[in-house]
Amino acid sequence: MDASAKTNRATTLLLILCALLLASCSDTTGSAGPTPTATAVPPTLAIHEFPIPAVIGDSGIVTGPDGNLWFTESEADKIGRITPAGVFTEFPVPTLGSYPQGITVGPDHALWFTDTFGNQIGRITLSGDVTMFALPSPQNAPGAPQNFPTGITVGPDGNLWFTEYGLSNAGGNKIGRITPVGVLTEFPLPHADSGPDGITLGSDGNLWFVEATGERVGRITPSGTITEFNTPLPSEPVTITAGPDGNLWFTEDNVNEIGRITPTGVITEFSIPTPASGPSDITTGPDGNLWFTEEAANQIGRITPAGVITEYPIPTPNSAPEVITKGPGGTVWFVEGKPDNVGVFSPPKGR
């Protein structure tokens, strides 16, 4: 899909979820208004792109314990690996049509990923051995997945925590936890049809996540206590990461902003200079700033902890950058949904 015709991940998942369902049959708030942001004269960023001979689709990416980059290939039902030198390898996921999406490094030094349409959590070793763990879920029809696991991260308790995007009346709308040996526990969200998506570990030792359709940021303790914070409407938060300042930073696709929430729940928003840029994923870079993808604008954005935004164009036109992560050796890596490239750059110094 061209960036100009982009449908964000939250909307795509919701549409697919509704299609499958048809076929198978107290708030705490503290928010500040949008904050104007300054931007530098558009600079150049030395981006190197590696063409990938695969159909990546909606994806996740993380630096593995082996120093390589591991990413999901949702439309190919595979897990990809690329070395810092650009050597590419891929490993098939056992379930066809599974749509692997989020990926993270587990406490066991394996990679753990969400198998969105396969209704499973997957584990892949550095040598490529895959194990799948099925989620408990009511089924409206045989074989119809209901939970839609999307984001995943490692918790302070040594377990893996993930979001379940599916509707509450169909088994999803939960935060899940899986131990390294595969024991699953699920925690239902207070509000129906919240659409939980990205999730990360905060500096306070809790798990923080976004609710794309519920327009909220959520927090869950390792014991399972959930608190929700309303975002200014209509934000549609997509992903979230822990910032270098101890706060949580998240992308807001509908309002074209980057959001920041303190561990106590105070929200501040920063407007992205390029209109309708399509902010997607966000990560903390090696330079102490936050870096994010602009899927519709074909740019990489940087925001300082003070809220100053700089945008950098990507060499390949209409590449639809999606996910982004801190890489080895002071680099930042990202995935382009079209034409299926993996990009890398080193943050500029002295800017």
Of residues 258 and 19, the one with the higher pLDDT is 258
The pTM of this model reads 0.87
CA distance 195 to 214: 6
Q: Residue 267, exposed/middle/buried by CB under 10 A (0-12, 13-18, 19+)?
A: buried
- Residue 72 maps to a domain: no
**Amino acid 338: pLDDT:** 84
pLDDT tens for each residue of 167-202: 665 668 899 999 999 999 999 999 988 999 999 999
- Residue 173 maps to a domain: no
List the single range of 7-11, 241-245, 266-270 with lowest mean pLDDT: 7-11
CA distance 194 to 192: 6
- Residue 51 maps to a domain: no
**Amino acid 145: pLDDT:** 54
Check whether 138 has a pLDDT greater than 50.
yes
Q: SS3 for 229?
A: strand
Burial 311-340 (b: 16+ CB within 10 A, else e): bbbbebebbbbbbbbbbeeebbbbbbbbeb
Q: pLDDT band at residue 351, thresholds of 50, 70 and 90?
A: low
**Amino acid 144: pLDDT:** 55
Calculate the alpha carbon distances from 288 to 81, 202, 328 in Å.
26, 16, 15
Quote the DSSP letter at residue 3: G
Start-to-end CA span in the chain (Å): 34
- Residue 11 maps to a domain: no
Q: How many domains does the chain have?
A: 1
The CA angle 18-237-302, to the nearest 5 degrees, is 135
- Residue 50 maps to a domain: no
102 in Cβ contact with 150 (< 8 Å): yes
Domain harbouring 268, CATH code: 2.130.10.10
pLDDT tens for each residue of 205-236: 999 999 999 999 999 999 999 999 999 988 99
- Residue 23 maps to a domain: no
**Amino acid 21: pLDDT:** 38
CA distance 184 to 39: 45
Range of the domain at 266: 231-351
